[in-house]
Structure 1
Amino acid sequence: MDPHAIATMLETIEREGIELHSLLIWSRNALVSETYWLPFTADRLHMMHSVTKSFTSMAVGLAVGDGLLEIDDAVLKFFPEHRAITQSPRLERMRVRHLLTMTSGHAQGISGGAWRRLRTSWVADFLAQPMAHEPGEVFVYDSAASYMLSAIVQKVTGRPIHDYLAERIFTPMNMSDDMRWDLSPEGINSGGNGLRCRTSDLLKLGILHLQGGIWNDKVLLSPDWVEMAVSAQIRDVVLGVFTGEAYLGPDEAGEGIPAVRREGYGFQWWRGPYESYSANGLFGQYCIVLPEQQTVVAFTAGIADDDRRVHELIFEILRPALGAVPIESPAVHPERRPARFKIQPGPETADAAPGCWHGQYSMEANQQQVQGIRLAVGSARQSIEFTLVDHRGTHVVEAGFGHWVEGITTISGARLHHSYEPDGGLRVLACARWIEGDDGWMCLEMDWLFIETAFRDTVRCWLKGGVLRVEREVNVNSAERVLPPLKGSAVDPASPEGNAAP
């Protein structure tokens, strides 16, 4: 292939400030390019969001191949305990095929962000949803349909689909043995989202399907299933507007935003241009397969769902170069590009700290139920410790001046993070800097990079005369991206010994 295409892609990504975390390109049995933007690295797990659906599709394919179910089985066949929920004749006619193709008959699709707050049965909630259409008639994107597929496979195998896939797919393909997958209140893998894996695992998902289910000369997944899964089972595909809670039907308006027509949909796989197919995840996880070029591209990022710049680079710059003889042009000079790409921490400004910056602050009543905030010298080199107390408990983030400090924090963030707020916390890298504002205000600005997700928060603590004002926003989200500001007053002024910068 012509290597200038990859050079052009990387240079464009850097120049335009596209927030990529990783980019892997595999073509004709070779890994031709592997790039990570530090602190994201090859061994980091990453939340996959709806890319997870294509993994769930594999589990269904295995179960079909094992004779445990058929795609034309009735959905209710697997849940006799829930038959009393509804007497809808349409529900009686819903088949596994309809779940696979997102044509369940529901008027709207349930988002994983909505269900993560639901502590009762997700199966019961799905079966109780009103059915506006006959199953098979209308495409409505629905993470709940993928969950039902996970629940069905667990019913017929007796174990979660993560364990089923680990034995049959993940282990033979040497995928990450520390891969994690969220569970519902019913103990079922979430199906439509919630998988954490490495970018190399995502790449292998595409390679396995490009190779018709064959890996190292062994058939891991039925070639017939693979062909059905990646083919356009549904051609009239309109992706309705996403409200943050649900995907609207194709005919529903969404605040003036039009629905988007797509090339087609298979069994939890999207069809794309140039006969491509892909596994897609909200906020920028993609596995794109180009069969004609025998190529797979996998990348993770923190970008809006409508940001198609990376796709344009893949289809318009990379694709024509695959299989091409290198063009006559000036030689590529790697030394002109960074040896390693980085998401840079802010400048080191510890010496710019104002006097009496640290202490305890009592916060005024607020919707976020934050009661108090404490600023203190951190335990790491040149760092600051931010402590927040709210209705969920006490949460700490430590940020370095001019460098990242890594830790795990339970800090509340569901409103900004697509409802992700695990009790065990999230891994975070944080950096800080002091910025001088107007009228005597000083700002402690922090970046919180949640390294296993697409989310990066910017937090600003404005200080003046014992008053603290806190602002928080996120790079991407399915709903609001800025929280209402918090305001508080000092209750524990800093001692003279603590006035020095950390």
Structure 2
Amino acid sequence: MRRLRRSTLGWKVLLAVLTATPAAAGIAQVPPPAAFVVPADMQVLFWPAERRERDLRRMAELIPHARIAPSPAPRPLPAGEPLDLDPSAFMEAERVAGLLVIHRGQVRLERYGLGLTAADVWDSFSITKSLTSTLVGAALAEGAIRSTDDRVTDYLPELAGGAYDGVSVDDVLTMRSGARWDEDYTSATSDVARFYLTPPPAETDATVAYLRALPRAHPPGQHWNYNTGETNLIGVLVARATGRPLSAYLKEKIWDPAGMESPAFWMLDAQGREAGGCCVSATLRDWGRVGLMALERGAVPGGAIATPAWFETATAQRIDFPDSDRGYGSQWWTRGEGARFEAAGIFGQLIHVDPAKDLVVVVLAAWPTATGRARSEARLAMIDRIRAAVD
């Protein structure tokens, strides 16, 4: 399998006040506002640290989300032998709201901070990308998507005539479309800054309308560029192929069979559609169940979510980063040349999966900055401590 080297790295997210779609079974959505307005105080990247610590647990109260009901058959998470490890200093220094360690199917450590409780949800930011990837696997398993070798225009023909001509579903999943995209959140003129602020033409999906206007910067499949808009595009493609809103499909294909015990909330865009690239809010324990789903290659108690081969492909290292043990797969990050893999979001969110150790580690946090090398290294050091402690 051909690998590519990283060209740029952007871990960013977009948030806006958004409208809603009609409710589906098990899904509740807020009424749409009278007008679509993005209040200045909802620019999460620029909130003071204390507000993130307070409000990342209540995003569904602040902006429209779809509510995903709990599974009718919650998966038990039995307690195991407590780890001989005190994470208190790490949690305080790194502003950690939740730390969960599941080893061999048992909870070995579960701690909360910043006032979070086991009943509270926390925003995941780009952890959601890995859920959207899994929904592609589910759509493949049921035949709604025929192959990731298909062209995205096979499912979204209105993209024809632009940078997405000749781009495969796999190219988009691995962020190698070649379309020019600027993920710079420090610039008001970047694509990610303007993405949700550009009104779409009538009867046109907002994501498709914006992305079909992008120019091509590289041939498809040859250049990696982190692009939240393209994960939103994957979400549009899954919804179109399955005929289901993403929140309904998430409930059917992941939330119910994986045995989630609490509701989740998925941020909606200006047209009332779920943002495939961001912002599912869920409890710490349910994020642990997401990690178990990936660890078990989708063979969860409630039935197979996708094929084991899909998970092997999605979590394999497809992109190599020079001078790093990190890589990228299909909306999953990898470590150790793919021996371990992660779902990750800004401000410190992480699900770390170590198949060799039968281990899932979840970190929910409110870092003072969206990203940071020192904080990433501190978190990795804690994960290494945990990996040593479970031996």
Q: TM-score, normalised by structure 2?
A: 0.70
Q: For 2:229 and 2:248, locate their aligned partners in 1 and report how far apart those are by CA, in whole Å.
A: 20
Q: Report what 1:232 is aligned to.
A: 317
Among 349, 370, 379, which residue is 1:311 paired with? 379
**1:264 match:** 327
Any conservation in 2 of the 1:228–1:266 contact (CA below 8 Å)? yes
Give the drift of 1:217. Answer: 7.3
Q: Is structure 2 residue 199 aligned with structure 1 residue 119?
A: yes
Partner of 2:45: none
Of 67, 85, 88, the residue aligned with 1:10 is: 88
Cα 1:42–1:310 change in 2 (3 A) is farther
Contact 1:276-1:288 within 8 A present in 2 as well: yes
Tell me the amino acid that sits aligned with residue 156 of structure 1: A
Q: 1:96 to 1:63 in 2, by over 3 A?
A: same
Give the aligned partner of residue 457 of structure 1.
Answer: none
**Contact between 1:5 and 1:317, CA under 8 Å: does it hold in 2?**
no
The aligned counterpart of 2:55 is none
Where does 1:369-448 land on structure 2 (aligned, <5 Å)?
none
Q: Distance in 1 between matches of 2:351 and 2:298?
A: 16
Other-structure match for 2:287: 202
Q: Whole-Å Cα distance in 2 between the matches of residues 193 and 217 of structure 1?
A: 25
Q: 1:272 to 1:142 in 2, by over 3 A?
A: same
Partner secondary structure for residue 68 of structure 1: coil
1:30 aligns with 2:110: no
After superposition, the Cα gap between the structure-2 partners of 1:313 and 1:3, relative to the gap in structure 1 and judged at 3 Å, is: farther
Cα distance in 2 for residues equivalent to 1:210 and 1:95: 27
Q: Decide which structure has greater strand share.
A: 1
Q: Is the 8 A contact 1:228 1:267 kept in 2?
A: yes
Aligned residue in 2 for 1:192? 277
Q: Distance in 2 between matches of 1:195 and 1:114?
A: 22
Q: Structure 1: how far apart are the matches of 2:176 and 2:127?
A: 19
Secondary structure of the structure 2 residue equivalent to 1:49: coil
State the 1:4 CA deviation: 6.2
Distance 1:152-1:215 versus aligned 2 partners, 3 A rule: same
Give the drift of 1:29.
1.4
**Matched AA of 2:382:** I
Q: What is the aligned partner in structure 2 of residue 102 from structure 1?
A: 175
- 1:382 maps to what in 2? none
Aligned-partner Cα distance in 2 for 1:180–1:12: 28
Q: Secondary structure at the match of 2:216?
A: coil
Relative to structure 1, the CA distance from residue 170 to residue 217 in structure 2 (aligned partners, 3 Å threshold; closer, same or farther) is: closer
Distance 1:162 1:112, change over 3 A: farther
Shift of 1:11: 3.6
AA paired with 2:115? P
In the TM superposition, residue 278 of structure 1 has moved relative to its aligned partner by: 0.2
Structure with larger RCO (C-alpha < 8 A, sep 6+):
2
Equivalent pair of 1:285/1:301 in contact (CA under 8 Å) = yes
1:69-468 matches, cutoff 5 A:
69=145, 70-83=147-160, 87-88=161-162, 91-110=164-183, 114-120=194-200, 121-216=206-301, 218-235=303-320, 237=321, 263-273=326-336, 275-303=339-367, 304=369, 305-306=371-372, 307-323=375-391
Q: Is the 8 A contact 2:96 2:363 kept in 1?
A: yes
Structure 2 gaps of 5+ residues are: 1-79, 184-190, 201-205
**Which letter maps to 1:75?**
V
Q: Where do 5+ consecutive residues of structure 1 fail to align?
A: 239-259, 324-502
Whole-angstrom distance in 2 between the partners of 1:104 and 1:261: 23
> How many Å separate the matches in 2 of 1:143 and 1:97?
15
Q: Which deviations, in whole Å up to 9, do the C-alpha atoms of 1:375-424 show, x marking residues without a partner?
A: xxxxxxxxxxxxxxxxxxxxxxxxxxxxxxxxxxxxxxxxxxxxxxxxxx
The Cα shift of 1:130 comes to: 1.2
Q: Which has the larger radius of gyration?
A: 1
Kept after mapping to 2: 8 A contact 1:24/1:297: yes
Q: Residue type of the partner of 1:37?
A: G
SS of 1:91's partner is: coil
TM-score by length of 1: 0.55
> What is the RMSD of the two structures over their aligned residues, measured on CA atoms?
2.3
In structure 1, the residue corresponding to 2:128 is in which secondary structure?
A: helix
Q: Is the 8 A contact 1:112 1:192 kept in 2?
A: no
Q: How many residues align?
A: 294
Letter matched to residue 97 of structure 1: D
| One-letter amino acid matched to 1:277 | F
Secondary structure in 2 matching 1:6: coil
Counterpart residue type for residue 118 of structure 1: T
Shift of 1:159: 1.4
Per-residue displacement from partner, 1:97-138 (whole Å, max 9, x unpaired)?
Answer: 011101110233447554333332221111211111011101
